[in-house]
Structure 1
Amino acid sequence: MASDNIALLTKLVHDFDGRQDGLESNLSYYDGSAQPTQIGLATPPNMRSLLVSIGLSRTYLNAIEERLDVEGFRISGKARADKRLWEWWQANNLDEQSSFGHTESLMHGRAYILGSAPDPEDPLDDPEVPKLTVEGPQRVWADINRRNGRVKNAVRVLRDDVTYAADNPDPDYVTLYTPTTTTGYIKSGRLGWTIDFHVEHNLGVVPVVPLLNRSLLSDLHGASQITKDIRSTTDAMARTLMNLQTTAELMAVPQRLLFGVKPEDLTDDPTNSYKVFQAYIARILAFEDSDGKAQQFSAAELRNFTETLDQLTKKAASETGLPPQYLSFTSDNPASADAIRASETRLVKLAERKQRIFGSAWEQAMRIALLLMDGKLDREAHRMETLWRDPATPTFAAKADAVVKLATASTPDGRPVIPVERARIDLNYTVEEREEMEKWDKQSATSQLAELVRPKFQEPGQPDPNQKPEADAA
């Protein structure tokens, strides 16, 4: 059995290493450090260091991720979000971790959610809360069954230098996840690995959930949101800006031709090149020699570069669906609120699609968490729903006005179109805030007023006149 696990571990580590290609390129386009190929037809070699990095990919991915906020999980048959699942979410800091996972998935095409039972030997672990962590593809790889789309086995790889390197292919620590066990291995021993820990969870499923982006029926491991057309547009913008800088360096100052003028006529020290240059860029040049003549060429026109950048920016907007104001090109007249919302239609729809895809992964992660803590799943848990914040960006006043109209309008039988609870959900109040509002709703206006005035008019030591004696109350 040990040798079988070692063979499986070796295979998964090999697959993991084979899937590291392209991750560094994705990151370079995201953080703006990508350096496109230099054509060099019009740029001197010594000025190609002016090549500019473009943050188009980061702007695009961040615009999507900023609209992906989980607000809870609802079990089938229940009207409200499940408190227990939300407590697990908060205890594992998934408000922050989910943001990192969504960004990694958009950038690389995949991220992973790992689940485990609380460690009884760790004093910081709550014994009633499972552990849920998010990892990127630089550390985790999952082997997915093409027949049913579920994870067969998974591996988590750690190296001292954190990232994969061709000269250091062997990891220092590996965790192997199977449907029945979770085992940690240290690089040592006769078989190459020594067991660090071994847990028999017997869940029947691997406690690893892929958070996939742009997965296809023919490719179950996802793809980067930074597509080839976005990369090519980014490279073209970088080269255009480089040529713009080069032209500005070489020809932004009008060039002059001086005839019949000796170097000593330009400055008192013709051997000092800096003084000669100062004389060259001076506005007025006067010479005593009557034969001296000067001619001036006009400065280079940079409009062709700026117009090219404008066209490339519009091309990027059509490829990404980003609104014009996100890419800093707008008309002279400011857009109205309705026009801004209309320009965000594609971006909002894309965010809704990502919510649907990522929500399925988070629901599966929560089912695994229920299995870890309860050992079984209720039938309703299979129809779990992830609750997301509205990805659209209407103003609060406009949204409140629409919600109030729906809550106060009546149907033909006299009922409101939406109940008050639905209105509060639409206004993005949290579960705790809605519960506090319900407590206030149960108190009458008179009782609320009495609570406010009692501390002012009630003398110390006197009984509350509004409170009935215990005998009468009984």
Structure 2
Amino acid sequence: MIDPVLDETLPDELSDAEARTIGELREKVRYYAAKNEKKLALYEGEFVADQIGIAVPPMLKDWPVRIGWGGTVVNTNAARSRFLDFQAPAGDLQGLDKVVATTRLRTKSDRVMENALVVGTSFVVVGKNKAGRMVIESKSPSVMAVRENYWTGQLDAALLQVRNDKGWTLAETLYLPNETITLERRDRRLTVTHRDRHQRGEVPVEQFKHRPNDSHPNGRSLITAPIEYTISAAARTMLGLEVHREFFSGPMRAAIGADPEQFGVTEDMTEDEKYRLGWSLVMGRMNIVPPAEDSTANPTMHEFKPSPPTSYIDIMKYLSLMVASDSGLPASYFGIMTDNPASSDSIKALESQIEQRAIERMREMDWHWINVARKILLWRDGTVDENKLADIHVEWASPSTPTPSAAADAGMKLVAANILPADSKVTYDRIGLSDIEQKQLIEDKRRASLTQILSGLDQAAATASTDLQVHNLASRRVDDDDA
């Protein structure tokens, strides 16, 4: 949305290069915000399909029919690709686990993945607040744009806009490799209010790209063109079903050879009055055919059979199968149910494609999260130990959906086969214990071990007091020469 009040003239405090960079990135923000608006509407279920104009009356073409299949495609895949934490099994984690906890990065990572799957890309901004604490935020491409160096693949600049509910820009932040410039709204224009010359040599922004290629260098959305068309067709079908319900679901009756005045219809009535009278005549499903002038036949009643909505339901089933095929999800996720429920083996086979895509997605996103870890260390400490950074890995939630009993059974078999130790964090993760549960379990085992040791000492002391040999040795007198 273009700000109608914002003065496009940039502040004089900016250099020519900074002004050109802001102007370039503003154009990118506007371009991608308009481009992604349709994808976001499909995800939120707010998409309004274009009508052909044949089967639907003009006054009903904008009836708010909503289809939530876009959200189903994105949310199902996002739930299988959840960031948990950073790990360094053979090295120093350098306090990254504390940063994840204090910045609520787990929750924010879900929004990062959601944006990446909806529009193909997402952003993470790293920095410090006024108190010196680390701050990590996820940002949408609708309010942020970056410029990437073609030769190095690194970001040269990034622009973040802060807007109010009306879409007016309240502030902008320009991120450069050695400086961060803040512009705030003052007197109906933006003014430079702060310059942070951090001299880090990097832009504190990471761009996440979902399955980029040469034709889509900024990533690809899960809501592809075939899925978009199928959702549009489904919306048109549902609108046709609404029109069918209003006009063709009730039985239509006709009075043949009857005088309209017998039903209260007069020649001086307006169309609105006739319409209201029609609703009072069997819910408006009454047609009156007057008799011929020379006819003496008695009036007769005729009833037309209502049209069932079977054709629309069949079309929706077919479209559900189409979107299931295009998205790689089971048809049951889109409302196709059968009388016989699927077995666990068939469900596992249907979801294998979801798991495989999730594994590929996590492998691709690993690089982006490691870059986030690098920027966290750089902004917190000022330097990065590349050797220690190489030991850091990303922990992801399991993309599969085993039941708790199945996970416990698999963990027990791995422990029994001496593949996993019983008290390993890997084993705890396998059986689905949360971090809090794992810490509590370790603490309970530590307390139980101390209690057992103390109990053993008491028992040993009691045994020693009753043992005759121990008593004789303890009471033996030691001479100076023996000493």
TM > 0.5: yes
Say which of 399, 402, 406 aligns to 2:410: 402
In structure 2, the partner of 1:412 is: none
Distance 1:445 1:156 in 2: 54
Identity across aligned pairs (percent)?
24
- Partner amino acid for 1:147? W
Say which of 417, 420, 427 aligns to 2:419: 417
Contact 2:254-2:286 within 8 A present in 1 as well: no
Say which of 69, 78, 90 aligns to 1:77: 90
In structure 2, the partner of 1:59 is: 72
Shift of 1:387: 0.2
Say which of 368, 376, 390 aligns to 1:382: 390
Say which of 46, 49, 60 aligns to 1:33: 46
Shift of 1:403: 1.0
Shift of 1:25: 1.3
SS in 1 for 2:193: strand
Contact 2:253-2:285 within 8 A present in 1 as well: no
Shift of 1:161: 5.0
In structure 1, the partner of 2:243 is: 246
Contact 1:109-1:213 within 8 A present in 2 as well: yes
Distance 1:205 1:381 in 2: 17
Query: Per-residue CA shift, 1:13-35, capped at 9, x if unaligned?
Result: 23333332212212211111211
- Partner amino acid for 1:306? I
SS in 1 for 2:200: coil
TM-score (norm. length: structure 1):
0.81
Query: Per-residue CA shift, 1:40-74, capped at 9, x if unaligned?
Result: 21222233244522111011111122233222111
Contact 2:279-2:285 within 8 A present in 1 as well: no
Query: Per-residue CA shift, 1:276-323, capped at 9, x if unaligned?
Result: 5444459999xxx96112222221132111111100000010011222
In structure 1, the partner of 2:213 is: 216
Residue 314 of structure 2 corresponds to residue 307 of structure 1:
yes
In structure 2, the partner of 1:167 is: none
SS in 2 for 1:19: helix
Shift of 1:325: 2.5
1:172–1:47: structure 2 CA closer, same or farther, 3 Å change rule?
A: closer
1:43–1:436: structure 2 CA closer, same or farther, 3 Å change rule?
A: closer
In structure 2, the partner of 1:4 is: 17
Contact 2:173-2:181 within 8 A present in 1 as well: yes
Distance 2:28 2:364 in 1: 25
In structure 2, the partner of 1:177 is: 175
In structure 2, the partner of 1:147 is: 151
Contact 1:139-1:158 within 8 A present in 2 as well: yes
Say which of 70, 79, 88 aligns to 2:99: 88
Residue 224 of structure 2 corresponds to residue 227 of structure 1:
yes
In structure 2, the partner of 1:298 is: 305
Name which one, 1 or 2, has greater alpha-carbon Rg: 2
Distance 1:370 1:231 in 2: 41
Query: Per-residue CA shift, 1:134-192, capped at 9, x if unaligned?
Result: 1111221111122232211111123445637xxxxxx4422111111111124679xx8
SS in 2 for 1:315: helix
In structure 2, the partner of 1:43 is: 56
Consecutive unaligned residues of structure 1, counting only runs of 5 or more, are 121-126, 165-170, 410-415, 455-463, 467-474
Distance 2:30 2:277 in 1: 59
Distance 2:164 2:448 in 1: 64
Distance 2:279 2:180 in 1: 72
In structure 1, the partner of 2:126 is: 115
TM-score (norm. length: structure 2):
0.80
Decide which moves more: 256-265 or 138-147. 256-265
Shift of 1:205: 1.5
SS in 2 for 1:229: helix
In structure 1, the partner of 2:135 is: 131
SS in 2 for 1:22: helix
SS in 1 for 2:85: strand
Shift of 1:386: 0.9
Say which of 368, 377, 385 aligns to 1:370: 377
Consecutive unaligned residues of structure 2, counting only runs of 5 or more, are 1-13, 288-295, 464-483
In structure 2, the partner of 1:196 is: 193
Distance 2:155 2:217 in 1: 11
- How many aligned positions are there? 429
1:180–1:446: structure 2 CA closer, same or farther, 3 Å change rule?
A: closer
Contact 1:77-1:380 within 8 A present in 2 as well: no
In structure 2, the partner of 1:124 is: none
In structure 1, the partner of 2:471 is: none
Distance 1:50 1:218 in 2: 36
Shift of 1:450: 7.3
1:30–1:253: structure 2 CA closer, same or farther, 3 Å change rule?
A: same
Shift of 1:433: 3.5
Distance 1:2 1:383 in 2: 41
SS in 2 for 1:175: strand
SS in 2 for 1:195: strand
- Partner amino acid for 2:441? M
